[in-house]
């Protein structure tokens, strides 16, 4: 119930291509879904986030697609660049109190020049 399943574990994409990372959750109490980007030697940094009342959110080249009925959400990176090479974590958060947030296991993305 508390797990967030993330796939794939690693991903290699050519420069200019579309990177897609998928996540699935079980607990319908989750109501905030952030994505974090982590570079080596750095902590995770918030990339983009979505609430379940919308099906899509776009910020620049990054888009979250959200399917509430399927309890799935995904990150799309358009026109992927070498600088996007990092580990990406999806997360699901429960409203109320100090944030109960569950992270996916991460996807290591490599963009080939």
Min separation Cβ 113 and other proteins, Å: 26
Tell me if 49 contacts other proteins by CB under 8 A: yes
Residue 109 found at the interface with other proteins (CB under 8 A): no
Q: Taking CA 6 as the corner, what is the angle to CA 61 and CA 102, rounded to the nearest 5 degrees?
A: 100
- Give the single-character DSSP code of 82: G
CA atoms of 12 and 51, how far apart (whole Å)? 28
Per rule CB under 8 A, is residue 106 in the interface with other proteins? yes
# residues contacting other proteins (CB under 8 A): 27
Our finding on whether 97 is near other proteins (CB under 8 A) is: yes
Contact 33, 90 (CB under 8 A): yes
Which residue among 64, 74, 88, 104 contacts other proteins (CB under 8 A)? 104
């Amino acid at each position: 119930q508390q797990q967030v399943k993330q796939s794939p574990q690693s991903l290699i994409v050519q420069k200019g291509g579309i990177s897609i990372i998928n996540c699935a959750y079980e607990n319908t109490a989750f109501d905030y879904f952030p994505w974090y980007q982590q570079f080596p030697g750095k902590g995770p940094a918030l990339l983009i986030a979505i609430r379940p009342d919308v099906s899509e959110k776009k910020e620049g080249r990054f888009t979250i697609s959200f399917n509430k009925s399927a309890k799935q959400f995904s990150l799309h990176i358009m026109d992927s660049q070498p600088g996007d090479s990092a580990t990406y974590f999806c997360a699901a958060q429960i409203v109320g109190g100090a944030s109960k947030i569950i992270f996916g296991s991460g996807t290591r993305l490599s963009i080939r020049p």
